[in-house]
């Protein structure tokens, strides 16, 4: 679910281009062209028509535009049509809507609570 416009901390609008490393807090939306690296513990929104060629390491990402590069987003990755993602994904939660193009690989990680639940029965079995 995309935040409302008043929750967005920064915007790279249509017709804008930026190259480099982007770090931020809160929610950032890219509607223009970005090349480089994006790092945050918060939310990135790639708007429809955006062109992003980057290594992305954020907590959660919502993509409507074109992304070329690897995405690491521990909380979630949401791909909405007409998104196109070429690269690998590492996340706990992945949503791909109809009409999205995803070419790459995906590694789903489990939340720490699920990992702890699985480890407990194994530890109990080892004691028997």
pTM score over 0.85: no
3-state helix, strand, coil in the chain (%, to 5): 15, 50, 35
Selection from 70, 107, 114 nearest residue 91 by Cα: 107
Judged against a pLDDT cut of 60, whether residue 90 lies above it is answered with yes
Q: Which of 10-24, 32-46, 63-77, 93-107 has the lowest mean pLDDT?
A: 10-24
Q: How confident is the model at residue 115 (pLDDT cuts 50, 70, 90)?
A: very low
What is the CB neighbour count within 10 angstroms for residue 25?
10
What pLDDT, on a 0 to 100 scale, did the predictor assign at position 1? 47
Contact 59, 73 (CB under 8 A): yes
pLDDT in tens, 5-54: 458 888 888 999 999 999 999 999 999 999 999 999 999 999 999 999 99
């Amino acid at each position: 679910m995309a935040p409302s416009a008043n929750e967005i901390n920064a915007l790279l609008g249509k017709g804008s281009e930026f190259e480099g490393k982007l770090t931020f807090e809160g929610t950032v939306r890219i509607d223009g062209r970005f090349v480089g690296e994006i790092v945050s513990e918060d939310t990135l929104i790639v708007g429809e028509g955006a062109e992003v060629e980057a290594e992305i390491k954020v907590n959660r990402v919502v993509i409507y535009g074109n992304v070329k590069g690897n995405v690491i987003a521990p909380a979630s990755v949401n791909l909405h049509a007409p998104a196109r993602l070429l690269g690998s994904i590492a996340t706990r939660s992945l949503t791909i809507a109809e009409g999205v193009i995803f070419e790459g690989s995906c590694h789903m990680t489990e939340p720490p609570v699920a990992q702890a639940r699985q480890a407990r029965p194994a530890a109990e079995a080892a004691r028997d």
